[in-house]
Amino acid sequence: MTIKRKCFLESKNNQKLYNILQSPGIVMVIEVQRLQWLGDVVRMDGERTVRESLEGTPGRERKRKNI
C-alpha cells in the first residue's frame, strides 16, 4: 500500500505517464488518424466532393453581389 501511495504522490508529467503506460501521446494518435483519413480520401472516386476539395478541382463559383 505504501508503494502505491508513494507512486501517486510523486509528480509526473505526461511524457513520464505515457512511458509508464506504454501509450502513444494524443498528438501521435491524432496524426495517425488524419493520415488514415487521407488514405481513404485518396482511394475515393475523383467525382466525390471530399476528393474534389482535396485536389482543388474547381466547381461551381459563387456569383458576386452587386451592391
Structure confidence by residue, pLDDT tens digits, 21-59: 777 778 888 999 999 998 988 888 878 888 877 777 566
pLDDT at 31: 93
Q: Does residue 11 lie within any of the structural domains?
A: no
Q: Does residue 17 lie within any of the structural domains?
A: no
- The structural domain count of the chain equals 1
More confident residue, 11 or 50: 50
Q: Does residue 47 lie within any of the structural domains?
A: yes
Q: Does residue 63 lie within any of the structural domains?
A: no
Of 58, 27, 59, 54, residue with least CA distance to 39: 54
Q: Does residue 64 lie within any of the structural domains?
A: no
Provide the residue range defining the domain that includes 31. Answer: 24-56
Contacts of 50 (CB under 8 A, 6+ apart): 41, 44
pLDDT at 2: 55
Predicted TM-score of the model (pTM): 0.49
Q: Does residue 62 lie within any of the structural domains?
A: no
